[in-house]
Structure 1
Amino acid sequence: MSERIVVDPLTRIEGHLRVEAEIENGKIKDAYSSGTMVRGIETIVKDRDPRDAWVFVGRVCGVCTSIHSLCSVRAVENAFDIVIPPNAQLVRNIMEAVLYMHDHVVHFYQLHALDWVDVVSALKADPAQASVLAQQLSPWPKSSVGYFTALKERLTKFVGSGQLGIFANGYWGHPAYKLTPEQNLIAVAHYLEALEWQKEVVKVHAVFGGKNPHPNYLVGGMPCSIDLNEANAVNTERLDLVKQKLQEAKTFIDQVYVPDLLMIANVYKDEWSKIGGGVRNYLSYGDFPMFEYGDTDSYKMPRGIVLDRDLSQVHPVDANSSEEIKEYIYHSWYTYTQGDKAGLHPYEGETNLNYTGPRPPYTHLDVKDKYSWIKTPRWKEEPMEVGPLARMIVAYAAGKEPQKTLIDDTLKQLDLPAEALFSTLGRTAARGLESKLAADWALEFYDRLIKNLENGDSRMVNHYMWEKETWPKQAQGVGLTEAPRGALAHFIVIEDKKIKNYQMVVPTTWNASPRDEKGILSAYESALIGTPVYDSKQPLEILRTIHSFDPCLACAVHLYDEEGKYVHQMDMF
């Protein structure tokens, strides 16, 4: 006999996500992913100046801050054939690499680690043994007996007070937790250290973009002047601060994040390297161009698609082709003028809201009908997984270095086959390895920037096509980036110097979307199939797999109370 359980809201994510799962004989037989909020930013930017779009779309999310702004300016630059100066490209790369490091570290510790780490178990740890283990794992200096003793005392008082705070409502003591008390104590220590670390690395965004979150961008370049000797510009002192923060970030990732990741992977690998694989196709738009954005061969992360987990071939992807990327709404709360079975390329995309779901409160969604605010994108009718795992798989299949060697070395260290990549654990590990690469690349971009400046090149903007009088009557373009959570595309149609249509196909659209008309599941739903659930009242296993994708759903615009009454509408300008 099957049982349907509901996880709503699924916590430790950005936004609002509901998961319904049918469990039979202790395993998930079917699963449904529902985005329970509206985005609608596409409608807000309509008829606005395309040069201003980045300001609005950047507010889609404060967690993956800056990446939507970057994608937006790339879309406009693509529409007008604007090539930005080398220094602007390097600054954008540095800011994006900082976003990767910040986002991945925060995800691992603050959002995902508690799926593997039992905080209460850490109270049983022997600080001396924890110290020995920590020093075996890494040269990180905060590993003395005194350090772990003080932390354990602090944690004991915290738990003893009955005020668990950020650790409240955890499934502590769940039999799926496998770490020793000492390993748990180390992980909790680093959880707290990551909270302090993350506020420092984002200072790089403040130097180049003026602030964080939502640093400033500019069509044609970057809105910061760099002069090594000018007090009112980004000068030598500010650049030295950038280098310091990049070096600190690299140290934390190399000596804290990656060792913790490998510690956890070694404990859970026998089971979780075989669970949560999901769809068999992987998409990456590629990113971090070393030269011009249009020179995809120079990308640190390659562009392409791996189909059916065939690592012998990488397929090309053309976001402009009307026959490749399409969005469907068969199970989504929207309408298309061509009907619910139509698939639209984003240039022709429509955002017509049409909620037909149950009136809150309700027990279950009608999954035979529409059940999500997320559209269903497909590449040539195929579902795709996007994100760190997809990027690493595409790079691995392409033989791209240093990714291939890093993956091979990690698999060897964990004594796992390449097939282990296609799993919940593989997805989690890919994010950590990618952070290590981002830390190295950020310093490489920085060194190139300094060399350009020392050679007398301080250009940060290309004014070509800035004035409206130079624009054609009609233009369209696509901006492609690899957000921390995966392939991100912004499509813009410009007519009479205003935005006629704007569509965003974001990573969580690919991963969290409902199944299509043919019943083919997208990444979240597919990854949950076959997952064992020990206790349906404490579905820790569901959290592990869904969190491995790092869900990011945009801000809601409607709120209802528990009786389904309308509470508040946010007016957005």
Structure 2
Amino acid sequence: MSERIVVDPITRIEGHLRIEADIDDKGVIKDAYSSGTSIRGLELIVRDRDPRDVWAYVQRICGVCTTVHALAAIRSVEDALDIKIPKNAHLIRDIMNQTVFAHDHVVHFYHLHALDWVDVVSALKADVNETSKIAQSISTWPKSSPGYFKDVQTKVKRIVESGQLGIFANGYWGHKAYKLPPEVNLLAVAHYLEALDWQKEIVKIHTIFGGKNPHPHYVVGGMATPLDINSDNGIHAERLSHVSQLIDEAREFVNQVYIPDLIAIGSFYKDWTHGGGLNNYMCYGDFSTTHLYDTKNYRIPRGIILDGNLNEIHDIDLKDPSHIQEFIDHSWYTYEGKDKGGKHPWDGETTFNYTGPKAPFKTLDTDEKYSWLKAPRWKEKPMETGPLARMMIGYASGKDEIVNIVDETLAKIGLPVKALQSALGRTVARGLETVLMTNWMRNDMDELLKNIKNGDQVTFDRTKWEPESWPKKTQGIGWMEAPRGALGHWIEIMDGKTKNYQAVVPTTWNASPKDHNGNIGAYEAALKGTPLLDKEKPLEILRIIHSFDPCLACAVHLTDLESKNMTEIRIG
């Protein structure tokens, strides 16, 4: 006999996600169902528009992932028109994307995910002297005195006593699944607050190179970034120096705050091995040391791992209809002319067909259609994508940087490589990736400065810019690695206009519903078999889902304005 619980919406994510889970009589999740509860639609908005303008529209898919959608869109058009960008533009784009990774991962760890592992209220019981000793034993970060932690503790106490918990409201404080001592909780809370200040600084890299943040500027053919070290109107020496300083500060924060906290917290949870899931991992690859299309020189290699087998990496061809398809058997869409089967994104459709229950309702009919997310598949197999997939594929590929940082960090926590295949491992992988990203930021910035010093200030190439030079009909794919995983934008251009457009985003892969074969997606697989200590407070569900860093705004993004019911947890 099973009981279904509903968590709707999942909070501390971008967008609207509903999780339904069937719990057996021992309190273990027997089956789980992931439902995106809003509608996507930007593919329809960009039809018949100038392909050179599409990036500015699809960048608005999300207010968090703005740069990645712009960059994927730009790359799709450049692929369709066979445009190769200048080296400086390639470096600037990579630096901006690496900035997104560093910012996104730090914000996710402290502000979206840490509270699944950290009991904020427990920090009030901490011995500040002991917290100071712990802080100084794991890092040389200067903010580590007893007085500093006493001030933080006093701030938290005032918040709790006021009853106005604000950012700390609605937590499952005191839950039996929390394992950290009060002193480590206080350390994490202090750095939670510091990260709020740090994150607003690193995004200044986008304002310098892209004009603003969010939604920085790009251009088909390169970057609209005027490099001129001797001009007040361009990106001059002082601004370049500021970017270098921000990169160095980011590396310091990541290495002196984020990673020590990750190791310290992870050490208390190393026996919490739930949330592994599919063990199928997918990565498109990115961050070439030469140019975008040189996939052999990707710092993050491309490939597929099946069933956790690190001894074999499968190839992926994003233009091959037999590799990438989206299925809608359990999604609220319809495909013209076919009731069954998937479609490659170049042939994709965005036709809404809601057949679910009318509000109010208790549960979804998960035997039928139950999500606004489609079900993308690689050779009809569900995939997990994101930091864990990238680290697993990089490790299996023998990339020295990745192998070394994974082995060294897991040794500090006391975990084998296999332990990465869990919610905790997913969280660790994201932190390690941040170290790599900030190192690459430094390397790419040094390379950019070297080019400029040697007299190369070109960031844009007008070749093939005018529609008169374009083919009558052409197709392109803009692929990249975004913080949450493999991102692809597929475009079809006809007579100088956008004829069809499809974006398949990381969360569509991870949060997908069942497909035509009954195969479940990464979220649903990760939740299965997880025991709940308290089904009235399903902290474990949040812990696992947050480990993916969901972005439902990217996967589906027009909300239902008719329903007034926005927050509830129901059991029944």
TM-score exceeds 0.5: yes
User: What is the SS of the residue equivalent to 1:514?
Assistant: coil
Q: How does 1:190-339 map to 2 (within 5 A)?
A: 190-271=191-272, 274-339=273-338
Tell me the residue number matched to 2:137. 136
Matching of residues 400-419 of structure 1 within 5 Å: 400-419=399-418
* Contact in 1 for aligned 2:267/2:414 (Cα 8 Å): no
Partner Cα distance (1:562, 1:192) in 2: 32
Output one character per residue of 1:405-449: Cα deviation in whole Å (capped at 9) or x when no partner. Answer: 111111222221111011111100000000000010000000000
Mark the runs of 5 or more structure 2 residues left unpaired by the alignment.
567-572
Paired with 2:29 and 2:565, the residues of 1 have a C-alpha distance of 30
> For the residues of structure 1 that align with 2:367 and 2:294, how far apart are their CA atoms?
45
Alpha-carbon deviations, 1:205-256, whole Å to 9, x = none? 0000000001001101001110111110000000011011111111100001
Paired residue type of 2:524: E
Aligned mates of 2:400, 2:492 — CA distance in 1: 36
* 1:172-216 alpha-carbon deviations (Å, 9 max, x no partner): 000100000000000000000000000000000000000000100
- Contact between 2:41 and 2:558, CA under 8 Å: does it hold in 1? no
Contact 2:37/2:559 (8 A) holds in 1: no
Counterpart CA distance in 1 for 2:32 and 2:158 is 40
Deviations along 1:320-349, one digit per CA (max 9) or x if unpaired, are 001100000000000001333221000000
Q: Does 1:5 align with 2:31?
A: no
Residue pair 2:286, 2:481 contacting (<8 A) in 1 also: yes
Aligned to 2:118: 117
Q: Report what 1:570 is aligned to.
A: none
CA distance in 2, matches of 1:403, 1:94: 19
- Native 8 Å contact 2:388 2:430 kept in 1: yes
SS in 1 for 2:270: helix
How far does residue 277 in structure 1 lie from its aligned partner after superposition? 0.7
Summarize the Cα distance change of 1:233–1:124 in structure 2 as closer, same or farther, 3 Å threshold: same
Contact 1:65 1:99 in 2 (8 A): no
Secondary structure in structure 2 of the residue aligned to 1:396:
helix
Instruction: Give the partner amino acid of 2:8.
Output: D
Question: Is contact 1:386–1:485 with CA below 8 Å preserved after alignment?
Answer: yes
1:82-112 C-alpha deviation (Å, 9 max, x unpaired) = 1000000000010001000000000000000
* Separation (CA, whole Å) in 2 of partners of 1:61 and 1:32: 24
Contact 1:388 1:430 in 2 (8 A): yes
The one-letter code sitting in structure 1 at the alignment partner of 2:505 is: V
Q: Look up the match of 1:23.
A: 23
CA–CA distance in structure 1, aligned partners of residues 485 and 277 of structure 2: 16
Q: Partner of 2:14 in structure 1?
A: 14
Q: What is the distance in 1 between the residues matched to 2:109 and 2:28? A: 26
- In the TM superposition, residue 563 of structure 1 has moved relative to its aligned partner by 7.8
Partners of 1:197 and 1:418 in 2: how far apart?
Answer: 31
Distance between the aligned counterparts of 1:338 and 1:256, measured in 2?
A: 55
Q: Distance in 2 between matches of 1:231 and 1:134?
A: 44
Structure 1 residue 560: Cα displacement: 2.1
Q: Which residue of 2 aligns with 1:108?
A: 109
Tell me the alpha carbon deviations over residues 137-175 of structure 1, each in whole angstroms, 9 at most, x when there is no partner: 111110001101111111111111111111111000001
Residues 361 and 562, structure 1, Cα contact 8 Å, conserved in 2? no
2:183 corresponding residue in structure 1? 182
Shift of 1:562: 4.0
> How far apart, CA to CA, are the structure 2 residues paired with 1:384 and 1:87?
34
Are the equivalent residues in 1 in contact too, given 2:34–2:511 (CA < 8 A)? yes
Q: Secondary structure at the match of 2:479?
A: strand
AA aligned opposite 2:99: V
Q: Are the structure 2 counterparts of residues 257 and 219 from structure 1 closer, same or farther at C-alpha, using a change threshold of 3 Å?
A: same
Q: Which residue of 1 aligns with 2:62?
A: 61
In structure 1, C-alpha distance between the alignment counterparts of 2:529 and 2:562, rounded to whole Å: 34
Partner of 2:269, secondary structure, is helix
Residue of structure 1 in register with 2:570 after alignment: none
* TM superposition shift of 1:307: 1.2
* Alpha-carbon separation, structure 2, partners of 1:110 and 1:424: 17
Instruction: Name the CA distance, whole Å, in 2 between partners of 1:238 and 1:424.
Output: 40
Aligned to 1:559: 561
Matched position secondary structure for 2:503 = strand
Check if 1:492 corresponds to 2:499: no
- Counterpart in 2 of 1:567? none
For normalisation by structure 1, the TM-score amounts to 0.97
Instruction: Tell me which amino acid in the other structure corresponds to 1:506.
Output: V
Instruction: Find the residue that maps to 2:500 and give its secondary structure.
Output: strand
Cα distance between partner residues in 2 of 1:563 and 1:394: 42
The amino acid that maps onto 2:38 is: M
The answer to whether the Cα contact below 8 Å between 2:341 and 2:516 also exists between their aligned partners in 1 is: no
What SS does the corresponding residue of 1:558 show, helix, strand or coil?
Answer: coil
How far does residue 113 in structure 1 lie from its aligned partner after superposition?
A: 0.3
* Residue of structure 1 in register with 2:517 after alignment: 518
Measured after TM superposition, the shift of residue 316 of structure 1 is 1.0
C-alpha deviation, 1:46, in angstroms? 0.4
- Cα distance in 1 for partners of 2:215, 2:515 equals 34
Q: 1:209 to 1:498 in 2, by over 3 A?
A: same
Q: What is residue 395 of structure 2 aligned with on the other side?
A: 396
Give distance in 2, aligned partners of 1:41 and 1:80: 22
Q: Distance in 1 between matches of 2:563 and 2:31?
A: 29
* Structure-2 residue corresponding to 1:45: 46
1:262-283 Cα distance to aligned partner (Å, 9 max, x none): 1111000112xx2111012100
Distance between the aligned counterparts of 2:155 and 2:334, measured in 1?
Answer: 54
- The letter for the 1-side match of 2:330 is H
User: 1:3, CA displacement in angstroms?
Assistant: 1.1
Q: 1:531 to 1:92 in 2, by over 3 A?
A: same
What SS does the aligned partner of 1:377 have?
A: strand
Which residue is 2:569 aligned to?
A: none
- Provide the rounded CA distance (Å) in 2 between the counterparts of 1:190 and 1:461: 40
Query: What do the CA deviations read for 1:484-535 (whole angstroms, capped 9, x no partner)?
Result: 0000000000001100000001000000000112211110000000111011
- What residue in structure 2 maps to residue 538 of structure 1? 537
Give the letter for the 2:224 counterpart.
P
Amino acid in the other structure paired with 1:322: P
Check conservation: 1:28, 1:531, Cα contact below 8 A.
yes
Change (3 A) 1:343 1:130: same
Q: Whole-Å Cα distance in 1 between the matches of residues 495 and 205 of structure 2?
A: 37
Could you say if the C-alpha distance between residues 391 and 223 of structure 1 is closer, same or farther in structure 2, counting changes exceeding 3 Å? same
Give the whole-Å Cα distance in 2 for the aligned partners of 1:118 and 1:279: 29
SS class of match (1:30): strand
Once residues 340 and 524 of structure 1 are traced to their aligned partners in structure 2, the CA distance between those partners, rounded to angstroms, is 26
Task: Say which SS state the counterpart of residue 292 (structure 1) adopts.
Answer: coil
Contact 1:479 1:490 in 2 (8 A): yes
Please give the alpha-carbon distance, in whole angstroms, between the structure 2 residues aligned to 1:78 and 1:415.
Answer: 45
Q: Aligned to 2:400, what secondary structure does the other structure show?
A: coil
- Contact between 1:281 and 1:305, CA under 8 Å: does it hold in 2? yes
SS where residue 66 of structure 2 aligns?
Answer: coil
Give CA-to-partner distance per residue, 1:49-108, whole Å, 9 cap, x none: 000000000000111220000000000000011100000000001000100000000000
| Counterpart Cα distance in 2 of 1:403 and 1:340 | 44
Q: Is the 8 A contact 1:250 1:436 kept in 2?
A: yes
Counterpart-to-counterpart distance in 2, 1:487 and 1:534: 34
Is the 8 Å Cα contact of residues 395 and 402 (structure 2) preserved in structure 1?
yes
Q: What residue identity is the alignment partner of 1:486?
A: G
**Within the alignment, does 1:387 sit opposite 2:380 as a pair?**
no
Q: 1:336·1:342 contact (CA, 8 Å) conserved in 2?
A: no
> Which amino acid in structure 2 is aligned with residue 523 of structure 1?
A
Q: How does 1:333-352 map to 2 (within 5 A)?
A: 333-352=332-351
Percent identity, please.
59
RMSD, aligned CA? 1.0
Structure 1 equivalent of residue 464 of structure 2: 465
Question: Is the CA contact (8 Å cut-off) linking 1:329 and 1:340 kept in structure 2?
Answer: no
